[in-house]
Amino acid sequence: MTRDEIFAKIKDVLTDALGVDDDEVTGSARLQADLGAESIDYLDISFKLEQAFGIKIGQGELFPDGSAQNAGFVKDGRITPDGIDLLKKKLPHVDFAAWEKDPQISKVANLFTVDALVNFVQRKLAA
Amino acid sequence: MRWMWIDRVLSLEPGKRLVAVKNVSLAEEHLHDHFPKDDARALAACPVMPASLMIEGMAQSAGVLVGHATKFQEKVVLAKVSRAEIEADPTPGRTIRYTAEIERMDATGASTKGVIDLLEPFTDAPARTIGRVDLMFAFLDRNLAGLDFPEHNFVFGEGFQTLLRTSGVAEP
């Protein structure tokens, strides 16, 4: 499946799960800030991706399971270098470049864009 | 007893599907307000089962199904109404049938699909599908870590226990 085909299917998943319009779902759109996703929507999106692509998504595989955000990895509202390493290891489909210049824990949600989902599915299908 | 919007569980296939019914009665007070006579607009009273309470009926049907699948160990709460389409108003003397199926389930929650049928007891009229309601449930203790909830499962309290017992559903 090409990246464009994956993107088209993900667009369907997101318009269905989040009730957004087609044209709102761009590669750089952030699930929470731009598309209005709330906590339960992440589970909904996981379920729908499993169904759409015939894949199995483990807990903490697509979205963080909270291990890097626990107190040991947080200092002054920012995730420590060790915590960032852990996040990068667990979430290889996410682009951390812009965020890690000022790794505020309150902005972790901004990392989850439509492109991150496409990367995730692409890696998963290639595995 | 907590408010219950299903009267009886007809069948339960553990982890898969649950069918429940609700009889609509003119004795139910909410029907008198939904909708009352409107003199100003010259409208006669029109008692019908509110669609919002049919969504609740499906949530209870699907919630029991999901709760049963977790042996009632999880606090199963309705987290999202993914879809709700209801195209007819059940009037008193009719029966609403909720068929709920688990679509996906993992350690943190479940999604269900549901069909609402309208039955006309004691007539030859066939059952007809009048709605579809798809829902998402979250397991409270798994999703709001750090918040303290009571140890006992307050979601599946006395009302649901009575419903399952009077419906003849065996404990999981």
* Per-residue confidence band for B1, with pLDDT thresholds at 50, 70 and 90: very low
Q: Which of B19-33, B49-63, B153-167 has the lowest mean pLDDT?
A: B153-167
Helices B158-166 and B51-69, axial angle in degrees (round to 10): 80
Mark yes or no for CB contact A40/B107 under 8 Å. Answer: no
- Position B165 in a domain: no
Q: Domain holding B20: CATH number?
A: 3.10.129.10
**Max CA separation in chain B (angstroms):** 55
Sign of CA dihedral A47, A49, A52, A57: negative
Domain residue limits, chain A: 1-58+112-127, 64-109
Q: Is the per-residue pLDDT at B19 higher than 90?
A: yes
With 70 as the cut, is the pLDDT of residue B57 above it? yes
From the list B104, B107, B138, the residue facing A47 with the nearest CB is B104
pLDDT over 90 percentage in chain B: 78
Instruction: Flag whether B148 is in a domain.
Output: yes
pLDDT in tens, A66-125: 776 777 888 898 999 999 999 999 999 999 999 999 999 889 999 999 999 999 999 999
Produce one character per residue of B125-144: b if its CB has 16 or more CB atoms within 10 Å, e if not: eeeeebbebbbbbbbbeebe
Structural domains of chain B, count: 1
Q: How many CB atoms lie within 10 A of CB B165?
A: 11
In one letter, which amino acid is A62? L
Among candidate residues B4, B17, B3, the one with its CA nearest the CA of residue B98:
B17
| A-B contacts at Cβ under 8 angstroms | 31
Catalytic residue ranges of B: 34
Over residues A51-63, the mean pLDDT reads 92
Cβ–Cβ contacts within 10 Å for residue A75, how many?
A: 12
Which pLDDT score is estimated for B144? Answer: 58
Cβ of A59 within 8 Å of Cβ of B136? The answer is no
3.40.50.1970, 1.20.1070.10, 1.10.1200.10, 3.40.50.450: which CATH number matches A1-58+112-127? Answer: 1.10.1200.10
Determine the Cα–Cα distance for residues A52 and A48; give it in Å rounded to an integer. Answer: 6
* Mean pLDDT across A51-75: 86
What does the mean pLDDT of chain A come to?
A: 93
pLDDT at A51: 94
Asked whether residue B159 is assigned to any structural domain, the reply reads no
Q: Domain residues for B120?
A: 8-35+43-152
Q: Would you say residue B3 lies in a domain?
A: no
Q: Check residue A72 and give its pLDDT.
A: 82
Among A16, A40, A66, whose Cβ lies nearest the Cβ of B136?
A40
User: With 90 as the cut, is the pLDDT of residue B113 above it?
Assistant: yes
CB contact (8 A) between residue A66 and residue B106:
no
**How do A74-75 and B8-13 pair as beta strands?**
unpaired
Q: How far is A57 from chain B (nearest CA, A)?
A: 10
Task: Choose between B152 and B89: higher pLDDT.
Answer: B89
Chain B positions in Cβ-Cβ contact with residue A17 (cut-off 8 Å) = 82
